[in-house]
Amino acid sequence: MRHNSRTIDLRLLLECPSSEFLPLVYETFFSRPPDASGLLHYAKQLQKGNGRLLCLLEARVSPEGQARATDAPCPELDYMVKRYLSIRNLPVGRLRWMLLPKITATPPAGEESFAWEAWANKYIAEQIVQDVQRPIQEQQAQTKENSPLELQAIETKLLQLQERMNQVAVALHAGMTALQAQGAPVQAIDALREAQTAALFSMPNPDDVPWEARQYLHVLAQALRA
């Protein structure tokens, strides 16, 4: 759903449940679901205690946020953006944020102890599972209504998909070799090795992949779905 010329409800963003905040930010400012790397970035900032308002301001001033600003107007937030841009490089640490205008909003209960990074990690894992399972479920639903000739065509497509998975495994092996040559961390190489092995048969369980590598697995799942 796009927010064409619909004013942002700033207090809704500041007061919604913690688990709904970042997906709502992405929908409001970018008109899309969260990507893994961006979600982890914002989650880390929130985990550091930077607060929701700073997250909203950062999203607004990002290139994507600026490009879509006319689709999601918010005069109150845009007024704060001017102050934010004028103070964000001041060498006084977090004290500079005290110069931002105040907004009266009541955060949800338990916000201070909410584990943003753990939540983001779980959210990404669930999205990976959905990306992998969705085409399988769609294919199963379609198979019930297909003729024998159509089933044969589906089988051919599945074989082609397996071949593509094998090609992915070869590419992962090449990437792993390149990382080794560049002295990359062992964890990154092990994650690629596990993904290579799984690609020959099925997608790896997201829970078994280090969270640093999950964004790449997420992109891989989307590519295979395409």
Give the residue extent of every domain in the chain. 10-113, 127-225
Provide mean pLDDT across the span 63-85. 91
Q: Which of these, 76, 72, 79, 66, lies nearest to 5 by C-alpha position?
A: 72
**pLDDT 10s digits, 25-54:** 999 999 999 999 999 999 999 999 989 999
pLDDT of residue 57: 95
In angstroms, the CA 209 to CA 204 distance is 8
pTM: predicted TM-score of the whole model, two decimal places: 0.61
- Model confidence at 3, in pLDDT bands (50, 70, 90)? very low
C-alpha torsion angle, residues 160, 165, 171, 173 (rounded to 10)? -140
In angstroms, the CA 83 to CA 23 distance is 26
Provide mean pLDDT across the span 184-209. 58
CB-based contacts of 66: which residues, under 8 Å, 6+ apart?
60
pLDDT of residue 120: 93
Comparison of pLDDT for 213 and 121, the residue scoring more: 121
pLDDT of residue 133: 78
